[in-house]
Structure 1
């Protein structure tokens, strides 16, 4: 089937980062020891090709944000410069070409990039002046520039200067403004824009409802979830695998509250599953679970189910069929599909419970997972692992790695 006949064609989708967190969180480090799931192998020197883990010395200006798409990666340095690499067929690297890059290349000359997110084959980023820019694939108007033309360099989305954060999905994009309003655009086949069943494609940002207390948003393949400042959680779009957490296996065309809890601090949408963290540090997931991406032993789950009993989770990130999360002690844990080594435990074994990534206790809350994963550490910049077919690990090769390897951003 074509991708339009089968909305579940996984080869086109990844789940990124969701909105990249603020710099202050990157410097947070605590020493609270968390109890939880059994740790996986800590053999962090093994990769899919059988070579040792690579370590590249970091340049003076360290990365402060990271986002990953299906086959590309972007990072913002502390000096505000933006660098991308990997798959570039649709121009998602943003360097004005469609040439794959196995090492970081700079996107323009601006030093005012504040946050970014990577979709399947497009990228969007916010600058410090509140402007929003997108580039890459635009076949479903996911760039929001009113066209369906692919862009190989950043193109500004409208004229607003009040964008706070952005989330890029497969073929749709959503963003929150500083006034608390929520906006979406792109493909609406599965009512993932939250504005009803029509139009089928929205070429420029359209406001979702009238609420002015949206705090964050995350876009999956064909569903979207968002939190409000009152701690409530809302989802809409496709729920054929229960990924909306509403106890249904159908669709919701407009935002619908998930349960009655008012303690949600963040949410992340994967291909067909969703995970979220509450204020008391508990982690909850729901939706499809074919590879254990929910971190619990169920076939699928149509309502939120707690992952283990730990109360020290700080942030979760969901992707195709994989999930990762960090804890207050600085450890990172991943679970679900691991065919490309994207769980970072030194193997390609699928994991059905959270499995620890090495022994480091310096992971920040800034990380992203798809077929490959990247994350920031307080003691040494940016680390990536997993699939490297298009050079998305940024080490100058196309060698897959199943354990974290440090990435160098040019000076």
Structure 2
């Protein structure tokens, strides 16, 4: 999702893959200047840039090799954002760490965290997605919940006010998949229609009518052939 500058002394991609190969890894997610990996044992590992604690190892030190995220077990899904990270455990609870200037960790505060904190008032979650400064979660009941930055209405609650705890996206149900973009959000319904909300200057909502932003979700005009 994000592109960084390669240091002059960086090893080749093939060498890096060989050096850190781990057959127990079942999922990966790339953020801005840092990366996450999920192992079969439910632990999460992180490496790269760590100024805001997005590696979750209780430090702000850059790591050139993977370190284990502290205090996380039984994790089944991960998502790396711009400077923050999300993890979903087997009990449907969401955990977050890293930059929190806009409340994107969802713990009711706006202070950064170098270790995972539980997202408040959120249970029964089956999917997560981290954007630049906002976060998304999909509940088992098909509703979508969002928190963090809301400059362009990317939280879908009908306002442009940031929220440090999850709010429900209005008038949206029967959702099966979600994805948080930079300043917009996308959701897939059970009837295979796609819906988007938030920043739309470049037409990223797909509704055929570019605008600075859209507070209410709109349907993308996708033609299946």
TM-score by length of 1: 0.50
1:185-196 matched pairs, under 5 angstroms: 185-196=147-158
Kindly indicate whether residue 179 of structure 2 is the aligned counterpart of residue 218 of structure 1.
Answer: yes
Kindly indicate whether residue 75 of structure 2 is the aligned counterpart of residue 113 of structure 1.
Answer: yes
| Gap regions ≥5 residues in structure 1 | 1-12, 16-46, 264-279, 281-411
Q: Which has the higher contact order (CA 8 A, sep 6+)?
A: 1
Match of 1:31 in 2: none
CA contact (8 A) 2:71 2:115 kept: no
- 1:230, CA displacement in angstroms? 1.1
Count of paired positions: 218
| Gap regions ≥5 residues in structure 2 | none
Q: Which has the larger radius of gyration?
A: 1
Match of 1:160 in 2: 122
Return the match for 1:207 from 168, 171, 174.
168
2-structure distance, mates of 1:51, 1:86: 14
Match of 1:177 in 2: 139
- 1:211, CA displacement in angstroms? 3.2
Match of 1:358 in 2: none
2-structure distance, mates of 1:246, 1:82: 37
Match of 2:35 in 1: 73
- 1:125, CA displacement in angstroms? 0.7
Q: What SS does structure 1 have at the residue aligned with 2:19?
A: coil
Kindly indicate whether residue 19 of structure 2 is the aligned counterpart of residue 56 of structure 1.
Answer: yes
Coordinate RMSD, CA, aligned? 2.2
- 1:236, CA displacement in angstroms? 1.0
2-structure distance, mates of 1:173, 1:192: 9
- Indicate how the Cα distance of structure 1 residues 50 and 216 shifts in structure 2: closer, same or farther if over 3 A, else same: closer
CA contact (8 A) 1:14 1:170 kept: no
- Indicate how the Cα distance of structure 1 residues 103 and 50 shifts in structure 2: closer, same or farther if over 3 A, else same: closer
2-structure distance, mates of 1:137, 1:58: 28
Kindly indicate whether residue 203 of structure 2 is the aligned counterpart of residue 238 of structure 1.
Answer: no
Match of 1:399 in 2: none
Q: What SS does structure 2 have at the residue aligned with 1:96?
A: coil
Kindly indicate whether residue 11 of structure 2 is the aligned counterpart of residue 14 of structure 1.
Answer: no
TM-score by length of 2: 0.89
2-structure distance, mates of 1:197, 1:110: 33
Match of 2:214 in 1: 252
What is the CA deviation profile of residues 37-74 of structure 1, one whole-angstrom value per residue up to 9, with x for unaligned ones? xxxxxxxxxx9769653122634x51001011101111
Q: What SS does structure 1 have at the residue aligned with 2:100?
A: coil
